[in-house]
């Protein structure tokens, strides 16, 4: 299905006068509101192909109905999201969950919805049917060279799919690790990982990047070979300029200062980008901004500050992507909420009085520095986000419009109630 513009306009019209009042009231106090709107309008977050169905947990999965049954239907769903929020113009594929059998046709379909393909993700954390060697004890770090070779070849194959789709990055997340002390020789595991990644790196086209994701635990519970940003950074540094560290917000132990990690990686030109989500306990993959929106704002503060300092274009400099899993919500609503939360945090970071903050930091005026940050954080910037969406032809309130237009009901009538999305 295509969400026609006139339908979005119709829904917008019902809320337009309230929006205008609210927008004028917040815009009045912002120094250069046009610049803020321009940045918000050109900001896009990639949608992962595996997030369009209900993920469930190892205890069960409760399908919501009308889930995409094929890559084509996943593209359709991202098209719905993008039509509503005008901020999700790309999709990130996971191989082999979503193999583009006919890349030209898939690209063409995506283009009809104004979409292109973001990073491609490899998968060496599961065994696929017909595969010669098992990944039970790891992949790129494995003690057996034959297993490593198989995993390297898979990654190179993923790059080949990506080339056909015009992707520009390979995203690698390894579950390689150990469950018990003594199981693994850490140095050998790390060295094997590095050497395997070097072979993959050598297969990257000139204009490609490899993003190295880290995670402290799960599925392994004693050690993970790329367990934190230090280990990822070390690999990325040894690999070379095309390699960088990917930050999944859920991949940190409780209390970790993620914004500081982001700031330093960005400074070193080693920040690949993000897997946005939120969490209370671990890699919960909850809706962005649902648990700790202040942390998200602080991350965006570092991003805006650091990118401006480096003269980087906010819209294109990094890999902006969601990594989420939905157990009880409609995946499309959840993704719409996540993108809104990201845009809100970004808008808040854009309106920080940076000159005043710099001066307060220089003068060690701690209370004032906090006041300045929280002044921005406590401003209701939702009308700015809505205005940016409106100016691009999107909805004032994407979730509200999705419900008013009865899109899920429509998808259920097209696809059926008992559909299960391909993937996890």
8 A C-beta contact, residue 225 and residue 177: yes
State the CB neighbour count (10 A cutoff) for residue 153: 13
CA 140 to chain CA mean position, Å = 24
Answer for which of 76, 77, 118, 283 binds Zn ion (CB under 5 A) is 283
CB of 231 to ligand AOS, least distance (A): 15
Binding status of residue 213 toward ligand AOS by CB under 6 A: yes
Binding status of residue 408 toward ligand AOS by CB under 6 A: no
Binding status of residue 173 toward ligand AOS by CB under 6 A: yes
CB of 248 to ligand AOS, least distance (A): 5
3 state DSSP class of 118: strand
State the CB neighbour count (10 A cutoff) for residue 126: 12
CB of 416 to ligand AOS, least distance (A): 25
Binding status of residue 228 toward ligand AOS by CB under 6 A: no
User: Is residue 311 classed exposed, middle or buried when 0-12, 13-18 and 19+ CB atoms within 10 A define those classes?
Assistant: exposed
294 DSSP assignment:
H
Binding status of residue 275 toward Zn ion by CB under 5 A: yes
Binding status of residue 118 toward ligand AOS by CB under 6 A: no
Residues 358-397 that bind ligand AOS (CB under 6 A): none
Answer for which of 88, 121, 193, 245 binds ligand AOS (CB under 6 A) is 121
Place of tokens 């359709």: 76
Pick the stretch among 60-68, 162-170, 204-212, 271-279 that binds Zn ion (CB under 5 A). Answer: 271-279
* Cα 408 to Cα 370: distance, rounded to the nearest angstrom: 43
Among 383, 381, 351, smallest CA distance to 23 is for 383
Burial readout 295-307 (b: 16 or more C-beta within 10 A, e: otherwise):
bbbbbbbbbbbbb
8 A C-beta contact, residue 213 and residue 246: yes
Give the C-alpha distances (Å, rounded to integers) separating 347 from 267, 304, 378, 379, 386: 22, 10, 12, 10, 11
CB of 319 to ligand AOS, least distance (A): 12
Residues 132-171 that bind Zn ion (CB under 5 A): none
Nearer Cβ to ligand AOS, position 154 or 382? 154
* Cα 35 to Cα 350: distance, rounded to the nearest angstrom: 9
* Cα 310 to Cα 106: distance, rounded to the nearest angstrom: 36
* Residue 77 phi, psi (nearest 5): -65, -40
DSSP readout, 259-273?
HHHHHHHHHTT-EEE
* Cα 147 to Cα 302: distance, rounded to the nearest angstrom: 40
Binding status of residue 326 toward Zn ion by CB under 5 A: no
121 binds, among ligand AOS, Zn ion, none (CB under 5 to 8 A by kind): ligand AOS
Nearer Cβ to ligand AOS, position 176 or 387? 176
Site size for ligand AOS, by CB under 6 A? 9
CB of 215 to ligand AOS, least distance (A): 5
247 to 276: interface string for ligand AOS, x by CB under 6 A: -x--------------------------x-
Residues 221-260 that bind Zn ion (CB under 5 A): 248, 250
Answer for which of 3, 37, 47, 50 binds ligand AOS (CB under 6 A) is 50
Nearer Cβ to ligand AOS, position 52 or 376? 52
CB of 115 to ligand AOS, least distance (A): 20
50 binds, among Zn ion, ligand AOS, none (CB under 5 to 8 A by kind): ligand AOS
Binding status of residue 67 toward Zn ion by CB under 5 A: no
DSSP readout, 379-411?
S--HHHHHHHHHHTT--SSHHHHHHHTTHHHHH
Binding status of residue 323 toward ligand AOS by CB under 6 A: yes
CB of 121 to ligand AOS, least distance (A): 5
CB of 166 to Zn ion, least distance (A): 22
Nearer Cβ to ligand AOS, position 275 or 314? 275
CB of 51 to ligand AOS, least distance (A): 9
CA 130 to chain CA mean position, Å = 31
Q: Which residues bind Zn ion (CB under 5 A)?
A: 248, 250, 275, 277, 283, 285, 323
Q: Which residues bind ligand AOS (CB under 6 A)?
A: 50, 121, 173, 213, 215, 248, 275, 283, 323
């Amino acid at each position: 299905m295509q969400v026609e513009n006139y339908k979005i306009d119709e829904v917008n019209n019902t809320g337009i006068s309230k929006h205008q009042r609210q927008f004028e009231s917040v815009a009045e106090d912002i120094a250069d509101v046009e610049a803020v709107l321009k940045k918000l309008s050109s900001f896009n977050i990639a949608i992962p192909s595996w997030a369009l169905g209900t993920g469930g947990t190892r205890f069960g999965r409760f399908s919501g109905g009308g889930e995409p049954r094929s890559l084509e239907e996943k593209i359709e769903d991202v098209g719905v999201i993008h039509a509503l929020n005008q901020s999700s113009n790309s999709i990130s594929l996971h191989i082999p969950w979503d193999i583009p059998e006919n890349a030209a046709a898939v690209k063409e379909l995506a283009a009809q919805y104004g979409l292109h393909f973001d990073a491609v993700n490899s998968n060496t954390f599961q065994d696929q049917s017909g595969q010669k060697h098992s990944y039970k004890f790891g992949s790129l770090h494995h003690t057996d060279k034959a297993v490593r070779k198989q995993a390297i070849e898979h990654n190179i194959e993923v790059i080949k799919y990506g080339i056909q789709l015009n992707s520009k990055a390979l995203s690698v997340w390894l579950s390689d690790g150990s469950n018990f002390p003594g199981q693994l020789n850490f140095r050998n595991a790390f060295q094997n990982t590095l050497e395997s990644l070097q072979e993959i790196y050598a297969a990257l086209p000139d204009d490609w990047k490899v993003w190295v994701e880290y995670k402290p635990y799960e599925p392994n519970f004693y050690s993970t070979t790329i367990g934190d940003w230090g280990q990822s950074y070390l690999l990325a540094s040894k690999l070379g300029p095309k390699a960088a560290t990917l930050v999944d917000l859920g991949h940190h132990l409780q209390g970790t200062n993620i914004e500081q990690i982001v700031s330093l990686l960005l400074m070193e030109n080693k920040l690949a980008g993000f897997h946005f989500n939120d969490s209370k306990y671990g890699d919960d993959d909850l809706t962005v901004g649902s648990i700790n929106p202040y942390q998200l704002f602080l991350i965006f503060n570092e991003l805006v500050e650091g990118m401006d300092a480096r003269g980087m274009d906010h819209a294109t400099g990094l890999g902006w992507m969601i990594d989420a899993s939905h157990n009880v919500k409609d995946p499309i609503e959840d993704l719409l909420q996540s993108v809104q939360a990201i845009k809100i945090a970004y808008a808040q970071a854009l309106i920080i009085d940076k000159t005043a903050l710099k001066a307060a930091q220089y003068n060690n005026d701690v209370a004032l520095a906090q006041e300045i940050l929280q002044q921005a954080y406590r401003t209701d910037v939702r009308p700015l986000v809505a205005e940016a969406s409106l100016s691009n032809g999107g909805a004032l309130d994407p979730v509200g419009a999705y419900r008013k237009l009865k899109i899920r009901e429509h998808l259920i009538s097209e696809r059926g109630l008992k559909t299960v999305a391909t993937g996890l």
